[in-house]
Structure 1
Amino acid sequence: MVDWQDLHHFAVLARAGSLSAAARDLGVDHATIGWRVASLEDALALRLIERLPRRVALTPEGIAIAALAAEIAGTVQAIERRARGYAASPVATVRISAPPALAARLIAPQVAGFHRAQPGITLVLSGAARIAALDRGEAEIAVRLSRPDDPDLLIRRVGVMRFGLYATPDQAATPPEEWTFIGYDSVLEHVPQQAWLRTVLAGRPIVFQASDLFGQKEAARAGLGSVVLPRFLGDGDPTLVHLPVEPKPPSRDVWLVTYPDLKRSPVIRAAMDFLARVIGQGCPVGAQVE
């Protein structure tokens, strides 16, 4: 009989494309991936991969088996999610993935109140720029700034993140043609607020780039230049002032995402209601007064 763990390791290898990537995903070493796949090949009496010097390539049979293995993995994950959704225990852990600024400034400060109201639920908050893979069990709930296109997900729009341009009062007092700017590094050139910033430079320089908003904000607080920040991050900082600029910076919808079978759990519903409330307060859907 085929060992499910052998099949699972092979499915991850097929998706990841290399032994090293599969080993990282599964938290094991290369040798474990290798012998698991070899065990599966023996059980099926098929060669599934071509072992090349620096990578592996699926054989035609391997491609076919990998597709079936991915379907099985999806079914197993659905079973696990359904079981968690049916769980009636009042003690539970809910893993939440959210963009770093939302996690640190809107969600984390309100967790104490949630804990008082729901002492049996432990929230595990991951403030990560990358999108968590809900289908691989990396989180039960995700907060995202782009609408997912997976039809299997339960999606709820809970807020609108509005942006503004900010600088120190000294920087703001300089003529606009002398302004300098702070932005994202090249990896995040595609995000709407960075694309907007590029349109208003008019030959003025970006003098500092950082991959996260907190680094950008600290550089602006030091007087280095003007920075695009979410309104909830910039408006409350007494060292920065909001700069008038046209066209106005963009806004981004904030989405709450989970799987429908998890939503059946009272624990997941409580966490989602909490997230919707605190994000809605910090990023209200209605128009914000300037």
Structure 2
Amino acid sequence: MLDWENLHYFAVFSHEKSLSAAARKLGVDHATVARRIAALESSLQLKLVDRRPRAYVLTVDGERIASIADQMVEGAFSIGRIAKAGQQSISGEVSISVPPATAANFIVPHLAKLRQQYPNILLSMIAETRIASLPHGEADIAVRLSRPTEDDLVARRIGIMPFAFYAAPDYLAKTKPEDYVFIELDSSLVQSVQQRWLSAHLADRPIVLRTNSPEIQRIAACAGVGVAVLPYFLGELGGLARVSLGDGGLEREIWLAVHQDLHNTPAVRAVMDFLVDCFMQPDSHQI
């Protein structure tokens, strides 16, 4: 009999393209992934990867098996969604993927209300900057700063998040505009809208700090490190002044997304309604 776990590990490896990336995805060490792939090859009596000094590369047969394995993985995720969608009680675990600063400032302050209204829901909050795959079960619901493009998602725009340049007043008082230095997002977020907006204003002026954390950007700006692009809800907290660099600023849309299979599940609907309310609060800083 074919061991599904071995095939699962191989499917993740084929998708991630490396042992280390697959190991991170699966929450194991890379030796475990390699061992699972070897066990699958043994059971199939078929070579699936070429073992090179610095990488595993799929063979022709490996590519064919990987394609079939992907379909099986998708089928498994579909079964899981169908099972969850069949639950009619407002209870159980519901997971949401949301950027960390957005979660801390928009959602967490209102969690007591969700608890009071739906005491049998366990909320799992995955605070991350990357885009979680809803079809692959990485979360039930996602809060994103761009409109989802996947065909199998149901999405709703729930707000606007404005951004501006911010710096410490002391920094601005002693620094000429042509001498401003900047704080930017790290390479993992280099294609974000706000990063591209920052790049358009750099004019060859230096970057002095890179980080994937908006909160660290804010603290660094408060300390006089340089100018940072921040959402209003962080920039207006205190200690910073808004900086005009010749345009009207940047706005990003806030979107709520869910897989179409889960859209009408009572517990998921309850959490979605709660999230909409969070972004409609008077203190939501959508200036």
* Shift in alpha-carbon separation, 1:204–1:9, aligned structure 2, 3 A: closer
Query: Per-residue deviation at 1:185?
Result: 4.3
| Partner of residue 22, structure 2 | 22
| Partner of residue 126, structure 2 | 126
For 1:46 and 1:208, the matched residues in 2 are separated by 49
| Partner of residue 222, structure 1 | 223
Q: Identity of counterpart residues, as a percentage?
A: 43
* Shift in alpha-carbon separation, 1:151–1:197, aligned structure 2, 3 A: same
| TM-score, L = length of structure 1 | 0.86
* Shift in alpha-carbon separation, 1:38–1:208, aligned structure 2, 3 A: closer
The alignment covers a number of residue pairs equal to: 284
Q: SS of 1:262's equivalent?
A: coil
| Partner of residue 37, structure 1 | 37
2:230 equivalent to 1:232: no
Higher mean alpha-carbon deviation, 81-90 vs 261-270, is at 81-90
Deviations 1:265-287 (Å, cap 9, x if unpaired)?
11101111111221244265xxx
For 1:23 and 1:209, the matched residues in 2 are separated by 26
Amino acid across the alignment from 1:192? V
For 1:249 and 1:112, the matched residues in 2 are separated by 34
Amino acid across the alignment from 2:177? E
Amino acid across the alignment from 2:258? T
Higher mean alpha-carbon deviation, 211-220 vs 62-71, is at 211-220
Higher mean alpha-carbon deviation, 65-74 vs 247-256, is at 247-256
For 2:54 and 2:204, the matched residues in 1 are separated by 45
Deviations 1:79-122 (Å, cap 9, x if unpaired)?
10111111134431211111122011111111122211211112
Amino acid across the alignment from 2:201? V
How do 1:173-192 and structure 2 match up within 5 A? 173=173, 177=177, 180-187=180-187, 188-192=189-193
| Partner of residue 67, structure 1 | 67
| TM-score, L = length of structure 2 | 0.87
2:277 equivalent to 1:267: no
Q: SS of 1:256's equivalent?
A: strand
* CA-based RMSD: 2.5
Query: Per-residue deviation at 1:207?
Result: 4.2
For 2:170 and 2:31, the matched residues in 1 are separated by 59
For 1:106 and 1:185, the matched residues in 2 are separated by 21
Query: Per-residue deviation at 1:63?
Result: 0.9
Deviations 1:149-199 (Å, cap 9, x if unpaired)?
211112221111111222334445557636624321451443222332333
Amino acid across the alignment from 1:19? L
Q: SS of 2:262's equivalent?
A: helix
Query: Per-residue deviation at 1:245?
Result: 4.3
For 1:254 and 1:78, the matched residues in 2 are separated by 27
For 1:52 and 1:145, the matched residues in 2 are separated by 40
Higher mean alpha-carbon deviation, 218-227 vs 142-151, is at 218-227
Q: In the alignment, is the contact (CA less than 8 A) between 1:180 and 1:206 conserved in 2?
A: no
Deviations 1:240-265 (Å, cap 9, x if unpaired)?
23344421221111111121111221
Gaps of 5+ in 2: none
